[in-house]
Amino acid sequence: MSELSGKIAVVTGGGRGIGRASALALAQEGAAVAITGRNQTVLDAVRDEIMANGGTAFAITCDVADPAAVSTAFETIRTTLGPITILVNNAGITASIKFTDMDVETWEHIMRVNASGPFFCCKAVVPDMLAQQWGRIINIASIAALYGLPYSSAYSASKHALLGLTRSLALELVRANITANAICPGWVETDMLQEAVANIAEKTGRTAEEARASLLSQAHQQRVVTPDEVAAVIVRLTSPTNTNTNGEAITIA
């Protein structure tokens, strides 16, 4: 029997990048996986890939910034698959903006998706975890959760908030065999990286290669992290035998 057999996992932002890789990896370990996101076509493709490999999957659109949408989507998942005991909060957005140019609407939108969104999702699943006396919460933060980044004040602040939520949940829920951890990747080979490269090239006149190199210079190992690397850490954190890793900020850079 696979290690996660009988477990129900939800991966937000599950259509691409880290979310897609995580959904595939969790399904490979035997979990039934629900993936949420904004694009049903993209979600359906991941669902079909999981099912083609013999797994169980469900895809549903959900805007994590909307608490009513989260409540509705997670109740549908619960009815379809069962009680949710694994949550991967992966959905997130960013914007490269000078602080003096940051408007209130952009600030609040980034905070709502990156910080409030995981809060809404945790509120939706923690009752299931408490009832099962077992659960795993993995929040995809960023190295920006550990220190500030220029032109990323809202993004960095939102990821600091997510790390604070993670550490608080870890302490509050540990007696119910529920762990909460954050993964803090550097630049990952995702659409967000491509958008950042394009933005830098447009604003500075650099080539795409030069813009990419400037981003990689911020990474500890001067390289791009792959979604599969992050997914592998998620699988380890969700393992029923991994009971001692809790409240951690795990850097992959």
Tell me how many domains the chain contains: 2
Report percent pLDDT > 90 for the chain.
77
Whole-angstrom CA distances from 80 to 8, 92, 252 are 10, 25, 34
- Residue 151 catalytic? no
Q: Which of 155, 162, 186, 212 is catalytic?
A: 155
Q: What does the alpha-carbon distance between residue 97 and residue 126 come to, in Å, rounded to a whole number?
A: 35
- CA-to-CA distance for 74 and 87, rounded, in angstroms? 11
Query: What is residue 139's three-state secondary structure?
Result: strand
Classify residue 121 as left (phi > 0), alpha (psi -120 to 50) or beta.
Answer: alpha
Rounded to two decimals, the pTM is 0.91
172 in the same domain as 143: yes
Chain Cα centroid distance, residue 25: 14
CATH of residue 36's domain is 3.40.50.720
> Is residue 91 a contact partner of residue 12, using CB atoms and an 8 Å limit?
yes
174 and 194 share a domain? no
Q: Give the C-alpha separation, 136 to 138, whole Å.
A: 7
pLDDT band at 198 (very low <50, low <70, confident <90, very high): low
Per-residue model confidence as pLDDT tens digits over 206-215: 776 766 666 6
Domain that holds residue 31: 8-186+226-243
* Domain identity same for 98 and 212: no
162 and 65 within one domain: yes
